[in-house]
Amino acid sequence: MKTVYTCFCTDVIHEGHLNIIHEAEKYGEVIVGVLSDEAMMRFNRFPTLEFEERVGLVKNTEGVGRVIIQKDIMYDQVIRELRPDYVIHGDNWKQGPMKAIRDNVSALLSEYGGEIIDIPYTYSENVKRIDERIKEKLAMPEYRRKRLRQLLNIFPTVKALEVHSGLTGLIAEKTVVENQEGLDQFDAMWISSLCDSTAKGKPDIELVDMTSRFRTIDDVMEVTTKPIIFDGDTGGLVEHFVYTVRSLERMGVSAVIIEDKIGLKKNSLFGTDVKQTQDSIEHFCEKIRAGKRVQLTDDFMIIARIESLILEQGMEDALRRAYAYVKAGADGIMIHSRKEDPAEIFEFCDAFRKECREIPLVVVPTSFNQVTETELGRHGVNVVIYANQLTRSAFPAMEQTAKDILKYHRAKEVNERLMSIKEILTLIDEL
């Protein structure tokens, strides 16, 4: 009997999947691969069911002969082991980022004469509704909040992109590219104080108040499902920080990062060019302890950010602070540097990792931007934050457009570099 393989990356079986199975049955024994949590999280979206539940769902579906686990988004291992006569899939994988997967399958099958069967993708109101419902579920605080911890348990490095609005949130949520391993996308979002302030035309000095910062979080949350790491600046007064923790946790934010500075905060990338004061270890530990004390779930993380290298206080001071903050209950450590050479970041991470193997390490490679995520991962870094690149790329583009319209007294000259009217009109889906 011939074999037909299909891979399901789903937590609900709907008429589209039933149709695939029904069509597959015409060709032979139907083998369904259930995509592993790791692959689903990295390349598609977070599952809302436990892996075993997803396997059970497929096993109990009529027409399914065998169920296996597909570990990677690309089919190499599965096809080499199973050598199915056919691989069947909805024809939606002929375009967009999924085309890379189809090309991979096609190349593998051609090695021994297997065939792809593309069947029309089921576009129906019901399928659309189911898809939307799952997305809504993923956006709920109780699902979203724990997602950063889940990611950290699975992936060696998590990458976060700066967002400061619904629109930038959508970019972080939806941007997918093809690479050697298959598809890639951002895992999380960073609500930067610098970019949130800049978007409002204000300096990054804790001037934009928490009510406004929460409004930004809300704008982002309304249109995304990925976990949020919030830049909490200094955390403010201990008496205020406890309320911030409660609010962020309730909203479904996964982590807040607070920096060990006190008084008027200036952006770290100014370094010692401006007056900035580092907090005492004792006082900052008190802030961490107070935050941890008021937390209501185990999901939320308070990450302590060390400014010793920024303020040229030396490696020893940075490490002493890191151990003290971990002892006070910090769920992670962020080490910051404004040097172009990543040597001091590597030195810190290597030394810290010898003492603390488990505590997540966070870095923001803005100045030392030549290092890759893999390199940072080798030094024990778990979260890489691209803290301001969206804002910094948008501003010069917008400014140039404004200049050119002024220069030519019309918009024809800038038109070529613009998104088309059709694209902007259809960019945002309606419910």
Provide the annotated active-site residues.
Answer: 204
Amino acid sitting at position 247: S
CA distance 343 to 348: 9
| Interacting residue with Mg ion among 173, 206, 231, 260 (CB under 5 A) | 231
**Shortest Cβ 73–Mg ion spacing (Å):** 34
Task: Show the tokens assigned to 385.
Answer: 């934050």
CB of 252 to ligand SPV, least distance (A): 21
CA pseudo-torsion sign 415, 418, 423, 425? negative
- Out of Mg ion, ligand SPV, none, what residue 366 binds, judged by CB under 5 to 8 A for its kind, is ligand SPV
Listed ranges 223-231, 294-302, 343-351, 356-364: which one lies at the site for Mg ion (CB under 5 A)? 223-231
Evaluate whether 148 touches 227 at the Cβ level (below 8 Å). Answer: yes
Tokens of 247: 């609010």
Q: Does 364 bind ligand SPV (CB under 6 A)?
A: yes
Residues in contact with ligand SPV, counted by CB under 6 A, come to a total of: 12
Instruction: Copy the structure tokens of residue 220.
Output: 């982002």
Q: Report the partner that residue 268 touches, choosing among Mg ion, ligand SPV, none (CB closer than 5 to 8 A by kind).
A: ligand SPV
Residues 6+ apart with CB under 8 A from 411: 405
Give the interface segment with ligand SPV, choosing from 20-28, 83-91, 192-200, 208-216 (CB under 6 A): 192-200
Closest CA to 97 of 181, 210, 170, 187: 181
**What CA–CA distance (Å, rounded) separates 59 from 66?**
8
Choose the one of Mg ion, ligand SPV, none that binds residue 364, judging by a C-beta under 5 to 8 angstroms depending on kind.
ligand SPV
Q: How far is the CB of 293 from ligand SPV (least distance, A)?
A: 25
Residue 160: beta bridge partners? 188, 385
Q: Considering the rule CB under 6 A, would residue 391 count as an interface residue with ligand SPV?
A: no
d(CA 41, CA 167): 22
C-alpha dihedral (411, 412, 418, 420), degrees to nearest 10:
110
Can residue 387 be called a binding residue for ligand SPV (CB under 6 A)? yes
Q: Which of 193, 216, 224, 254 binds Mg ion (CB under 5 A)?
A: 193
Touching ligand SPV, residues 134-173 (CB under 6 A): none
Q: How far is the CB of 262 from ligand SPV (least distance, A)?
A: 16
Nearer residue to ligand SPV within complex by CB, 290 or 385: 385
Residue 279 binds: one of Mg ion, ligand SPV, none (C-beta under 5 to 8 A by kind):
none
Angle between helices 15-25 and 125-139 (to 10 degrees): 120
Residue choice 10, 157, 244, 267 for contact with ligand SPV (CB under 6 A)? 267
Pick one of Mg ion, ligand SPV, none as the site partner of residue 388 (Cβ within 5 to 8 A by kind).
ligand SPV
How many chain residues are in contact with Mg ion, going by CB under 5 A? Answer: 3
Contact with ligand SPV (CB under 6 A) among 6, 36, 157, 192:
192
* Main-chain phi, psi angles of 30, to 5 degrees: -95, 120
Sign of the alpha-carbon dihedral angle for 33, 38, 44, 50: positive
- Does position 388 bind ligand SPV by CB under 6 A? yes
Task: Map the footprint of ligand SPV across residues 227-266, applying CB under 6 A.
Answer: 231
Rounded to whole angstroms, the Cα distance separating 306 from 295 reads 22
203: Cα within 13 Å, side-chain hemisphere? 7
The residue ranges that bind ligand SPV (CB under 6 A) are 192-194, 204, 231, 267-269, 364, 366, 387-388
